[in-house]
A and B are shown apart, each in its own frame.
Chain A
């Protein structure tokens, strides 16, 4: 099988506190996944689950404590900047802090064209930029010479996607790209991802906490909890029939825009996040409705049920 990006046993530890009382938090704990060409892969979870840490390491902003990242079968290290030149681009959460408010947005496009030597003349550069802006439903004429504050959040996020497309990337890493955009305008961004995948064959690592858009847009999904991938498979399998108790809790907690689907039961919330990181066995054991004795002491192994990876003792016994 062709793998565009392969992440193997990625681990990142941060230490907190001083010399006397030091605690080590494992933000990403042996995370492994792969992305195929022309595929949208979602990494979903709540804040503090390690999804952004994973993205930062993949992008080379942070160094992993251990583990490898393969891009087209070749290992990537932080020092060799092969990564960026081989067509990986990133989109971030807040479009207003992506762009400097004192610079016009078109200057970012010209800078990218120049850095990658994609055009010889200014005319060529404009033609290239116009072509990329058309992909996101904008034109060069309506954006040239404008500052970020002259656009709405949704427009600006589409501009940052167009900026990422200038280098013809094969993989786009999108970290919470819709969470700052109004719910009514999210679809314009998410539909754009589908279009990029279907028409240009771009793969997208979609990092989000919004399972509803994840279901709508992605092919495969991994649910993360406190540094571990607890369930991974196709979106139909994972979201329509969640097996891990945490995936089930997360899925059921998405407020559905349907008054007949109101919640009837109550949830237990974590008192201290830190406690869950330092837990010895399964990190969800403190809140799990199906908790067994073994969960509190032993970390569950990765088990495959119908091609879906589940990290839970309930399934490893069978």
Chain B
């Protein structure tokens, strides 16, 4: 991995807040707060964190799907399309629509509610292809869909059934097949394996890995299950209270976690053959509407210092590709 990888998606001081108007008083939920990230071509990037840390909102923002009450308060999102970088926050709805599923696609969590229950999957596929491809090439794409279904190990007859006839795992795999049909450069998955059984989850993870290998594209995957991240991700970003607090290649996150929160996350997981007492992360996640001052983790942090309560640290570079935002590690510098 010595060669410099091409950046495909980049954010600059991204701030996306939910602005709610409740009985005349304004409530601001800071779900994505100053996120700076750079995601490369041909990699699987994992985003981990507890529920309510803003993971899903960050994905929505990266997918450029910012609709009220979610508002883009500041910052920019760039995609690299072809050879030039495009600021997608300025795009018109029509331009956005054209990018979706063809350049960037989304794999949702609840496959139950994604597929239309009164249409056979064949019609869902036709709908999908019809809205993205025009003219005679539709036939070709449909043939491609057939081929893809077989290549992904799904049964042949799958196009002639209704969604309710399939098990949850099969439905999720069909959803992923649809999301990868147009060979997008970026695929975004929001907890795509969370509601599944363990053996099925393993099958779905395998499928995602295979797709990524074949298309050589980028997958951004959100899940709170560190076990899934350990199995699939190349790099991991740890998110806490709307901010990325640590980012490193997978091995480094697991072997040398630097941020106290990351250490808690990893140490709280039970392992086979090890019955030593483990404890949860102390306390509970803060409300994104009333963030604590300074570093948002300080009320739960065992190493809290005075400066932590006053100021949020910048990223410190810990060797190549490893950055941490914590006062324990260093003062931090922009870079």
- Using a CB–CB distance below 8 Å, which chain A residues touch chain B? 46-47, 152-155, 182-188, 190-191, 209, 211-213, 215-216, 239-240, 249-251, 253-263, 266-267, 269-273
Inter-chain contacts of B200 with A (CB < 8 A):
46, 269
Closest Cβ of chain A: how far from B223's Cβ, in Å?
9
From known contacts A185-B284, A257-B254, infer whether A266 and B271 are also in contact, taking CB-CB under 8 Å. no
Chain B residues 25 to 49 lying within 8 A of chain A, measured CB to CB, are none
Q: How far is the CA of A188 from the CA of B282 in the complex (A)?
A: 9
Q: How far is the CA of A188 from the CA of B277 in the complex (A)?
A: 11
Q: Is B312 an interface residue (CB 8 A)?
A: no
From known contacts A259-B250, A261-B230, infer whether A254 and B206 are also in contact, taking CB-CB under 8 Å. no
Inter-chain contacts of B199 with A (CB < 8 A):
46, 249-250, 253, 267, 269
State which of B198, B266, B271, B278 has its C-beta within 8 Å of the C-beta of A187.
B278
From known contacts A254-B198, A269-B203, infer whether A183 and B225 are also in contact, taking CB-CB under 8 Å. yes
Inter-chain contacts of A256 with B (CB < 8 A):
227, 230-231, 271-272
- Using a CB–CB distance below 8 Å, which chain B residues touch chain A? 50-51, 155, 167-170, 197-203, 205-206, 224-231, 250-251, 254, 264-266, 268-273, 275, 277-281, 284-285
State which of A155, A186, A249 has its C-beta within 8 Å of the C-beta of B268.
A186
Q: Please tell me if the beta carbons of B272 and A212 are within 8 angstroms of each other in the complex.
A: yes
**CB-nearest residue of chain A relative to B277?**
A191
From known contacts A250-B198, A266-B206, infer whether A154 and B284 are also in contact, taking CB-CB under 8 Å. yes
From known contacts A185-B50, A262-B231, infer whether A257 and B202 are also in contact, taking CB-CB under 8 Å. no
From known contacts A259-B250, A263-B206, A266-B206, infer whether A184 and B265 are also in contact, taking CB-CB under 8 Å. yes
Inter-chain contacts of B277 with A (CB < 8 A):
191
Q: Please tell me if the beta carbons of A239 and B272 are within 8 angstroms of each other in the complex.
A: yes
From known contacts A152-B285, A155-B284, infer whether A184 and B264 are also in contact, taking CB-CB under 8 Å. yes
Q: Please tell me if the beta carbons of A262 and B230 are within 8 angstroms of each other in the complex.
A: yes
**CB-nearest residue of chain B relative to A270?**
B167
Q: How far is the CA of A314 from the CA of B240 in the complex (A)?
A: 49
Q: Please tell me if the beta carbons of A46 and B278 are within 8 angstroms of each other in the complex.
A: no
Closest Cβ of chain B: how far from A244's Cβ, in Å?
14
Closest Cβ of chain B: how far from A161's Cβ, in Å?
14
State which of B202, B225, B270, B284 has its C-beta within 8 Å of the C-beta of A253.
B202
Inter-chain contacts of A270 with B (CB < 8 A):
167
Inter-chain contacts of B170 with A (CB < 8 A):
269, 271
From known contacts A152-B284, A185-B281, infer whether A47 and B270 are also in contact, taking CB-CB under 8 Å. no
Q: Please tell me if the beta carbons of A267 and B203 are within 8 angstroms of each other in the complex.
A: yes
Q: How far is the CA of A211 from the CA of B201 in the complex (A)?
A: 14
Inter-chain contacts of B50 with A (CB < 8 A):
182, 184-185
Inter-chain contacts of A262 with B (CB < 8 A):
230-231
Q: How far is the CA of A207 from the CA of B206 in the complex (A)?
A: 27
Closest Cβ of chain B: how far from A198's Cβ, in Å?
12
CB pairs A–B below 8 angstroms (30 shown): A183-B225, A183-B226, A183-B269, A184-B50, A186-B268, A186-B280, A187-B280, A188-B280, A191-B280, A212-B269, A212-B270, A213-B270, A215-B275, A216-B278, A250-B198, A253-B201, A255-B198, A255-B201, A255-B228, A256-B230, A256-B271, A256-B272, A257-B227, A258-B271, A262-B231, A263-B231, A267-B199, A269-B199, A269-B203, A272-B167
Q: Chain A's interface: helix, strand, loop or mixed, by majority?
A: helix
Q: Please tell me if the beta carbons of A215 and B272 are within 8 angstroms of each other in the complex.
A: yes
Q: How far is the CA of A184 from the CA of B266 in the complex (A)?
A: 8
Other A-B contacts than A215-B272, A270-B167, 19 sampled, CB-CB below 8 A, are A46-B197, A46-B199, A152-B285, A184-B50, A185-B50, A186-B280, A209-B198, A213-B270, A254-B198, A255-B225, A256-B227, A256-B230, A257-B254, A258-B254, A258-B271, A263-B206, A267-B199, A267-B202, A273-B167
Inter-chain contacts of B269 with A (CB < 8 A):
183, 212, 257
Inter-chain contacts of A239 with B (CB < 8 A):
272
From known contacts A184-B50, A254-B198, infer whether A240 and B272 are also in contact, taking CB-CB under 8 Å. yes
Closest Cβ of chain B: how far from A265's Cβ, in Å?
9
Inter-chain contacts of B272 with A (CB < 8 A):
211-212, 215, 239-240, 251, 254, 256
Inter-chain contacts of B51 with A (CB < 8 A):
153, 182
Closest Cβ of chain B: how far from A94's Cβ, in Å?
13
Closest Cβ of chain A: how far from B233's Cβ, in Å?
9
Inter-chain contacts of B203 with A (CB < 8 A):
267, 269
Q: How far is the CA of A307 from the CA of B155 in the complex (A)?
A: 41
Q: How far is the CA of A29 from the CA of B50 in the complex (A)?
A: 39
- Most chain B CB within 10 A, of A188, A269, A270, is at A269
Inter-chain contacts of B285 with A (CB < 8 A):
152
Q: Please tell me if the beta carbons of A184 and B268 are within 8 angstroms of each other in the complex.
A: yes
Closest Cβ of chain B: how far from A246's Cβ, in Å?
9
Q: Please tell me if the beta carbons of A255 and B230 are within 8 angstroms of each other in the complex.
A: yes
Inter-chain contacts of B251 with A (CB < 8 A):
259-260
Closest Cβ of chain A: how far from B333's Cβ, in Å?
29
Inter-chain contacts of A188 with B (CB < 8 A):
279-280
Q: How far is the CA of A260 from the CA of B230 in the complex (A)?
A: 8
Inter-chain contacts of A257 with B (CB < 8 A):
226-227, 229-230, 254, 266, 269, 271
Q: Please tell me if the beta carbons of A255 and B278 are within 8 angstroms of each other in the complex.
A: no
**CB-nearest residue of chain B relative to A251?**
B272
Closest Cβ of chain A: how far from B193's Cβ, in Å?
9
Q: How far is the CA of A273 from the CA of B170 in the complex (A)?
A: 11
State which of B169, B198, B280 has its C-beta within 8 Å of the C-beta of A185.
B280
Closest Cβ of chain A: how far from B327's Cβ, in Å?
22
Q: Please tell me if the beta carbons of A183 and B230 are within 8 angstroms of each other in the complex.
A: no
